[in-house]
Chain A
Amino acid sequence: MTAYIIRRLLWSIPVLLLLTFAIFALMRAIPGGPFDFVGDKSLPKAVVQNLERRHHLDWPLGWQFSSYVLGDDITGVICNGLSFLPGCDAVQATYQLGVSQGLIRGDLGMALKLRGRTVNDLVKESFPISFQLGIISVAVAVLIGIPAGVLAALKQNTWLDYGSSFVAVLGLSIPNLVLGPLLIWIFPLTLGWFEVATWGAKPPFTLGLFPTTMGWKFWTHAILPAATLGTGFSAAIARLTRASLLQVIREDYIRTARAKGLKERTVVVVHALRNSLIPVITVLGPLLAAVVTGTFVVEQIFGIPGMGKHFVTSIGNRDYPIITGVSLIFAVLLVLANLVVDVVYAWLDPRISYK
């Protein structure tokens, strides 16, 4: 198993590099550069050249990518050694600027439009916010979804079951884009509850991830976005829990447990529920992937300064390193999420084996 995990991780490296290169190249292929304008004005060509030179944007694409991945110093060494390669004169001229230490050293580069800020800094400030939003949403989803599913299964074919199933389908179908504005309209604007926008926690974060305080103020910001993002997931979990519990209840060992004269509550909670949750746990992986994209949407609606928001702003600014960096982090998260899913599957279901 360990060997399998390592192999998967190693395999994902070239794929991630490929993705990074694709985004790297695609961004630069889009007309308009990061320094063509400032505010509502365009900059003279000479000024643009100065700025581009400073960020190696005057290098050929391949060398830029090399600097991004390997760092300026290694790229410089390569070029000094193999100076016949095309474009090396440009590299030799400015590699000493030390713009990038390279992905291999965990450096995502310098932001182009925010002077002196690194993408690492930006990620450090915004990733925890996206993370908190995601994790609270998953918590909401689980805390609502599982009890709702259990209730529906235990009261099968009653109005409670039909009602919760209907709500679940509705919850699955109502888009974030509709639910978010709707919640904002109902709560902050009409009732005056909670905050319209932004996030209640700011850097520095505890352990680099968690808010330092989680008082009421934090929750007035977090509740609506988390509800928006969590509703769809909780509906999915509720449906799954119901189906799975219904199946488990018909199993022989449950019948045995009942026959032994155990109390119904014990049967359900101790025996049935535990086993029926296995498939639910396995969806947490894909759920994580959905949360990653979901935060993207919800951050836009609620103006939350997470990574998705940085990403969308940076597109307009053509801030290449931020776009590439954020994409890369999303990709890494997805790769890891998928790996977790497969590993959990294998762990829970002995029929699956990894060669």
Chain B
Amino acid sequence: MAVVEQASKPSTVPQRRERTPLGDAIQQLLKNKLAVGSIIFITGLILSAILAGFLNGYFLQGFQAELDRTSQPAYAKQTLQDNNARPGEKSENPNLQGFVYWLGADNLGRDLWSRTLYGTRVSIAVALVAGTVSLIIGIAYGLISGYMGGRVDDLMMRVVDFLYGMPLLIVVILMQVYFKSLQRRGDESGLVNFILDIDKSMGGMFFIFVVLGALSWLSMARIARGQTLSIKQKEFVEAARATGVKPPRIIFRQILPNILGPCIVQETLQIPGYILTEAFLSFIGLGVNAPTPSWGIMINEAFQGLRSSPHALVPPAVALTLTVLAFNFLGDGLRDAFDPRLRRT
């Protein structure tokens, strides 16, 4: 068994100042312009995901009535004669007189602005769902492993080591094929029905998001374990144990709050991976069900028609790149803020 020292070396005693560490970190974070920009951008993304119904081109330009008439959502509204409309072109559909395709239309005459906007939903959903699942599993696993120590720790970490060697992308793809082949029977009730409704609202991707999170907790577990190991030896934990405080209380009251910071930093850095995996699944046709837009599907569609309408590639590509960039900047910023030792010179 390899005992590879974790990156977290025995931490130096933190210097006590008047301010709290959290306040300090936030102040540090706010000084980082890129991180602040990223926070603003991500907030904007979340808002657009929620408010897509009011921010899409048809609503803003006063054509909601036309959508209602044909009971089509903005992302699926197509006007075949407007296919491949360039950015800024007007619609030729008599029912859409005066409608402008701000970012152009795709090869089926669908508004790219609206589709890109709705596409944030899937990306935000995967970030939230997979992120939460991975955070919970990873922290729980690392906490238990680190707190128990000894043989249990050995065994649990060996499992992590081995899982590291698994081709997770392949497992994700196969699981997704499996989920895609399931279908509602129509006689579900209660909780099952509720979950299936959530799944439907995510374009049939909820389960794979959970799986994605459930397969991405390995680094999280390692970090949580390392942190737990170092905090376990601190005086205040020793003191609590000596005074007979029960282990669950120690774990939840004293260790968990102290390891949460680094774990959240790690999770933020993992989020781009989830978003890209979703985009890739969509790209190879295993993603959201059409016509629900996802940036991966939009890139795939634009890629097919790259010769005739390259402009269709721009909105989803820019959105995807900026989102990944924002999460990377935010992750870097958080790490710098919460872990001063890693601060770059």
A32 to B180, CA, bound (A): 12
Partner of A26, one of B162, B175, B182, B306: B175
Q: Which of B113-121, B222-230, B260-268, B313-321 contacts A (4 or more CB under 8 A)?
A: B313-321
A contact residues around B307 at 8 Å (CB): 189
Taken together as a complex, chains A and B put the C-alpha atoms of A173 and B162 apart, in Å, by 28
Interface flags, A96-121, vs B, CB<8A=1, else 0:
00000000000000000000000000
**CB-defined interface of B159-171 with A at 8 Å, one 1/0 digit per residue?**
0011011110111
Q: Which of chain B's residues 1-20 have a Cβ closer than 8 Å to chain A?
A: 1-5
Which chain B residue has the least Cβ–Cβ distance from A292? B167
Judge whether A62 is part of the interface by a CB distance below 8 angstroms: no
Q: Which residues of B contact A301 (CB under 8 A)?
A: 283, 303
Q: Are B167 and A330 in touch, CB under 8 angstroms?
A: yes
B3, A353: Cβ atoms closer than 8 Å: yes
- Name, among B3, B162, B170, B280, the residue most crowded by chain A CB atoms within 10 Å (CB to CB): B170
Residue count of chain B within 8 Å CB distance of chain A: 44
Residues of A within 8 A of B5 (CB): 351-352
List residues of A (167-217) whose CB comes within 8 Å of B's CBs. 169-170, 172-175, 177-178, 181-182, 184-185, 189
Residue of A with least CB distance to B179: A30
Q: CA–CA, A65 to B144, complex, Å?
A: 35
A312 touches B306 (CB 8 A): no
* B325 close to A (CB within 8 Å): yes
Q: Which A residues are in CB contact (< 8 Å) with B171?
A: 22-23
Is A315 at the interface (CB under 8 A from chain B)? Answer: yes
Main secondary structure of the interface of B (DSSP, over half): helix
Provide the residues of chain B in CB contact with A22, threshold 8 Å. Answer: 171
Let me know if A354 and B165 touch, CB within 8 A: no
Q: Cβ of A330 and Cβ of B170 under 8 Å apart?
A: yes
Interface flags, A318-355, vs B, CB<8A=1, else 0: 00000100110011001100100010010000011111
Main DSSP-derived SS at the A contact region: helix
Cβ of A293 and Cβ of B284 under 8 Å apart?
A: no
A32–B183 Cα gap in the complex (Å)? 13
Task: Determine whether the beta carbon of B169 is less than 8 Å from that of A23.
Answer: no
**Are the C-beta atoms of B284 and A312 separated by less than 8 Å?**
yes
Asked whether, in the complex, the Cβ of B165 is within 8 Å of the Cβ of A12, the reply is: yes
Asked if A246 is at the interface (CB within 8 A of a chain B CB), the reply is yes
User: How long is the Cα–Cα vector from A27 to B2 in the complex, in angstroms?
Assistant: 34
Q: How far is the CA of A175 from the CA of B283 in the complex (A)?
A: 12
Contact at B276–A175, with CB atoms within 8 Å? Answer: yes
**Are A15 and B317 in contact, with the CB atoms below 8 A?**
no
Contacting residues, chain B, for A297 (C-beta < 8 A): 280
Verify B328–A173 contact, CB threshold 8 A: yes
- Chain A residues, CB < 8 A from B310: 185, 189
**Are B328 and A331 within 8 A (Cβ)?**
no
B306 and A327 form a contact (CB under 8 A): no
Which residues of chain B are near A300, meaning CB under 8 Å? 280, 283-284
Closest beta carbon of chain B to A246's beta carbon, Å: 7
Is there contact, CB below 8 Å, between B165 and A335? Answer: yes
Return chain B residues, CB-CB under 8 Å to A338.
161, 164-165
Is the CB–CB distance between A185 and B169 below 8 Å? Answer: no
Q: Which residues of B contact A353 (CB under 8 A)?
A: 3
Chain A residues, CB < 8 A from B299: 177-178, 181
Q: Which residues of B contact A184 (CB under 8 A)?
A: 303, 306
A-B contact pairs, 20 of them (CB 8 A): A11-B162, A27-B174, A29-B178, A32-B181, A174-B321, A175-B279, A175-B324, A177-B320, A178-B320, A181-B306, A181-B313, A184-B306, A292-B167, A311-B170, A315-B174, A330-B167, A331-B166, A338-B161, A352-B5, A355-B3
* With A26-B178, A181-B303 already in contact, 19 other A-B pairs whose C-beta atoms are closer than 8 Å: A15-B165, A30-B181, A169-B328, A173-B324, A173-B328, A175-B324, A181-B299, A182-B313, A185-B306, A189-B310, A243-B344, A246-B345, A292-B167, A312-B284, A327-B167, A331-B165, A338-B165, A342-B4, A352-B4
Using a CB–CB cutoff of 8 Å, the interface residues on chain B facing chain A are 1-5, 161-162, 164-167, 169-171, 173-175, 177-178, 181-182, 272, 276, 279-280, 283-284, 296, 299, 302-303, 306-307, 310, 313, 317, 320-321, 324-325, 328-329, 344-345
Q: Which 4 A-B pairs have the closest CB atoms?
A: A330-B167, A335-B165, A173-B325, A178-B317
